[in-house]
Amino acid sequence: MATLCYLSGTVGYLVYLFRDREQLHRISWTILLVGALLHGIALLMRTVDSGHLPLTTIQESLSMFAWVFVVTYLVLQIRLQLRILGSFVSPLAVVFMLSSSLLPSHIILKNESFRSGWVIVHVASLFLANAMFALAFSLGVMYLLQERYIKKKNFGFLYERLPSLERIDSIAHYCLMSGFPLMTAGLITGFAYAAVVWHSPWSWDPKEILSLVTWIIYAVLVHERLAVGWRGRRAAWLSILGFSATLLTFVAASLLLSGHHSVLSGKM
Amino acid sequence: MSHIVLLGMSHKTAPVEIREQLAVACCKEVNPLHLLPHLEHVDEMVFLSTCNRVEFLFTCNSLAGGIRDIKAVLRTHVGLPASVAVDSYIYVHKDLEAVKHLFMVASSLDSMVVGEPQILGQLKDAYRDAVEYRTARVVLNRLLHKSFSVAKRVRTETCIGSCAVSVSYAAVELARKIFGDIRDRSVLLIGAGEMAELAAEHFLRQGVHRMTVANRTLERAMELAARFKAETVSFDRFLEELKTVDIVVSSTGAQEPVVRYQDVRSRMRERRNRPLFFIDIAVPRDVDPRVNEIDNVYVYDIDDLQGVIDHNRQERLNEAQMAEHIIDEEIIKFKKWMNGLGAVPTIVSMREKAEKIRQNELRKTFSQLPQLSDRERGAIEVLTASIIKKLLHDPIVFLKKKAQRDAQATYMDFTQQLFNLAESGEGLENRDGQRQDSPLSGREQDAEDQTFLKTAKK
């Protein structure tokens, strides 16, 4: 159901990409909102059903992530009024939803040790951080497109529709700056929790390594932005790279590699 | 039947000398609208005056008379001596042509720079004046409001306004695409060519925050600085300014590039990579093309800008066609409304006659039946009112429909004879004096009926 709503919201936004109609945007936004509500209800029901957050399979966690992502966008949209962003965000949400239903849902044994406040903080902050990074990723794509148009002096059809470079950049900056502390907090709680449960904060789990790599990428980006004043094209590329690393961490580590995170695949 | 006429001249018909006069007249304090009471043929009037056009929009019963009157007003207002023959510069549009012209003007399709938004504001001012002088009534009120909504439709449904067609427009638009809001940006002017001056002026009008001028001859730099309220910087030191300014407009006569790759590159770090936008209007070019390769630096030379303009022109041609289609649609709607106006007096007098008969009969009945309670009286009122309403409904719908046709006069005539409207109207006039024969009272009547019915139902 929610996937359908996202899909139609996406179609709306894609049409909006080509035709500048205020109404079209409002409809698409509402459809996405309805989708997010349905999705939220479905997730809640699962939680109640199984007694824990629906994160035990890669499928569930991707779907959860798509939900967090869409909600973050919807909230940001109210604050920023950057309508065209929807055309980039909603397809991404659909990709997450579709891939979540395509991926195998092999059930993993439940482990009592995962039911703890630490895990919730760990997962929630990381999910939010990733949603922010996903937004930064969309903005990065927008930035690169627009930058290309202006630099090459060859205006494609999206030129008119995309906002100014500075605006994209400043919003991406905002997303990054709110995402990074969340990610840091998420990782720290993860380590702290690991220290409590496994008596060692670091166990060379592939997912741990990959998340650290991702964290370093973002740390570099944040540092360069704040200290050196990096912005624009390079920053956009780096945020795209960072998000790819995030996805890799998320999917590949949970699916292909083994470690204690794959026991609870939802955890980052 | 009254006519709508638009008479005026613009940059398309009048040569520069005449337009200069217009520009002078444009600043005058007196508004020709105050002359309206002295014009015997003109009913309503709106006067639009900008530096590129002066137009009178008016309604009149006699075409020739109205046009004669207005031409005289135009002559005196612009201050042309009688010896100058203005007829060849003047265009006169009648009825739907006038409507079309007004819509075109409002949507900025008739402007010198097609799509520039100023004209709509000027038209709104003109309308405000007309409202103040009470020279715009039923027809022109409606027409002007319609023209505003047409302009809005054109603006939102086509992108006629968003494509820039002059170098300075194009430069500002590009700056907007890079910086977003350019109000807190600063501009550096290198050299003082005429084009650069134009561009600088345009940037200033868009409200850039600070402007600096660098020129080889200090005198000229100061002259420009005074004009743009800018600062000056000596020509050898302008490269240092690159650390702080955001937009650089350059137009020196130098044979070699004055801004080189390394000059900019080395300063980007100090700028903290904030974007820098070069507009190079000079030929040969002032800015090394390789500068464009630096991250966050954008260089547009005159050919690039011309490319933007050509691109926009093409776009605008397509958009203009769409816009004209919108205008044609709106003209048809307006025509229907105008024609509907023709049926209004007949419909109103038909309603009035019926209402008068009803009131008479009610009075008679009530005086014969004094024992009726208020409630019963109310019921009878409602009954009679709804009989009339239902009886008249079909003829009114018929008339409104026929009013769209060209042969409406025949139908109106026929209806008036059928209901014997002319005579009875005179006979009953004094009894119900407050209902004037104006198009509005028809609507008021409707509203009254509605409220009456509602209160009766309670």
pLDDT in tens, B170-217: 888 888 888 888 888 888 888 877 777 777 878 888 888 888 888 888
What residue in B sits closest to A228 (Cα-Cα)? Answer: B272
Give the three-class secondary structure for B44. Answer: strand
Which tens digit of pLDDT belongs to each residue from B57-86? 988 888 888 888 888 888 777 776 666 667
At a CB cut-off of 8 Å and minimum separation 6, what does B139 contact?
Answer: B2, B4, B44, B59, B338, B341
Round to whole Å and give the CA distance between B127 and B46. Answer: 6
Q: Which residue on chain A is closest to B153 by alpha carbon?
A: A21
Residues of A in contact with B280 (CB under 8 A): none
User: Once rounded to an integer, what is the mean pLDDT over residues A128-157?
Assistant: 83
Cβ <8 Å between B273 and A229: yes
Least confident span in A136-145, B310-319, B330-339: B310-319
Binary contact (B275, A232; C-beta < 8 A): yes
For chain B, say whether A228 makes contact (Cβ under 8 Å): yes
Contact yes or no for A232/A170 (Cβ under 8 A): no
Residue B86 DSSP SS3: coil
**B177 with A159: Cβ contact below 8 A:** yes
Q: Under 8 Å CB-to-CB from A69, ≥6 apart: which residues?
A: A89, A92, A93, A96, A130, A131, A134, A135
Those residues of chain B whose CB sits closer than 8 Å to some CB in chain A are 156, 159, 162, 174, 176-180, 269, 271-275, 292, 295-296, 298, 300, 304, 307-308, 311
Residue A235 pLDDT grade (very low, low, confident, very high; cuts 50, 70, 90)? confident
Q: Indicate the helix (H) or strand (E) that contains B152.
A: helix B138-157
Please indicate whether residue B26 is annotated as part of the active site.
no
Please tell me the distance in Å from A163's CA to the nearest CA on chain B: 7
Rounded CA separation A16/A90 (Å): 12
What φ, ψ does residue B53 adopt, rounded to 5°?
A: -160, 155
DSSP annotation of B259: B
Question: In this complex, which of A20, A166, A233 lies closest to B178 when CB atoms are compared?
Answer: A166
Q: Å from A244 to nearest chain B CA?
A: 23
Alpha helices in B187-288 (DSSP H): 194-205, 218-228, 238-241, 261-268
- Which whole number is the average pLDDT over B116-136? 85
Residue of B26, B27, B51, B163 marked active site: B51
Distances (CA, A) of B452 to A57, A134, B300, B354, B448: 69, 62, 70, 16, 6
Which of A155, A228, A234 shows the shortest C-beta gap to B311?
A: A155
CA distance B294 to A168: 19
Distances from the Cα of B16 to the Cαs of B48, B76, B318, in angstroms? Answer: 19, 19, 30
Residue whose C-alpha is closest to residue B248's, from B208, B284, B276: B276
Higher model confidence: residue A268 or residue B327? B327
pLDDT at A4: 64
Q: In angstroms, how far is the first alpha carbon of chain A from the final one?
A: 27
Is A97 near chain B, with CB under 8 Å? no
Q: Where are the beta strands (DSSP E) in B205-317?
A: 210-215, 231-234, 247-250, 276-280, 297-301
Task: Tell if the CB–CB gap between A150 and B292 is shorter than 8 Å.
Answer: no
Q: In the prediction, which pLDDT does B449 show? A: 42
Please check whether residue B311 is in contact with residue A155, taking contact to mean a CB–CB distance below 8 angstroms. yes
Nearest-CA residue of chain A relative to B185? A166
Please give the span between the terminal C-alpha atoms of chain B, in angstroms, as a whole number.
44
- H or E element, residue A187: helix A165-198
Report the relative pairing of strands B91-94 and B53-60 from DSSP bridges: unpaired
Q: Which of A155, A164, A230 sits opposite B178 (nearest CB)?
A: A164
What are the chain A neighbours of B176 within 8 Å (beta carbons)? 164
Q: Report, as an integer, the average pLDDT of B317-333.
A: 85
Q: Are A139 and A95 in contact (CB under 8 A)?
A: no
Taking only residues 125 to 164 of chain A, the set having a beta carbon closer than 8 angstroms to any beta carbon of chain B reads: 146, 150-151, 153, 155, 159-160, 163-164
In one-letter notation, the amino acid at residue A88 is: F
Q: Looking only at Cα atoms, what is the longest distance across chain A?
A: 59
Please give the pLDDT value at position B361. 92
pLDDT band at A8 (very low <50, low <70, confident <90, very high): low
Question: What average pLDDT does range B28-34 have in this prediction?
Answer: 73
Contact between chains at A150 and B178 (C-beta distance less than 8 A): yes
Candidate from A160, A229, A231 with C-beta closest to B162: A160
Rounded Cα distance, B275 and B180, in Å: 11
| Residue in B159, B180, B295 nearest the CB of A232 | B295
Tell if the CB–CB gap between B272 and A228 is shorter than 8 Å: yes
Given the structure tokens 């703890």, which residue do they identify? A116
Q: Using one digit for the tens of pLDDT, what is the confidence trace for B215-246?
A: 888 888 888 888 888 888 888 888 888 888 89
CA-CA distance, B201 to B195, in Å (whole number)? 10
Cβ contact A187:A179 at 8 Å? no
pTM of the model: 0.59
The predicted structure's pLDDT at residue B386: 93
Least reliable range by pLDDT among B83-92, B168-177, B380-389: B83-92
Name the strands in the sheet holding B297-301, side by side, starting at the edge strand that comes first in the sequence.
B231-234, B210-215, B186-190, B247-250, B276-280, B297-301
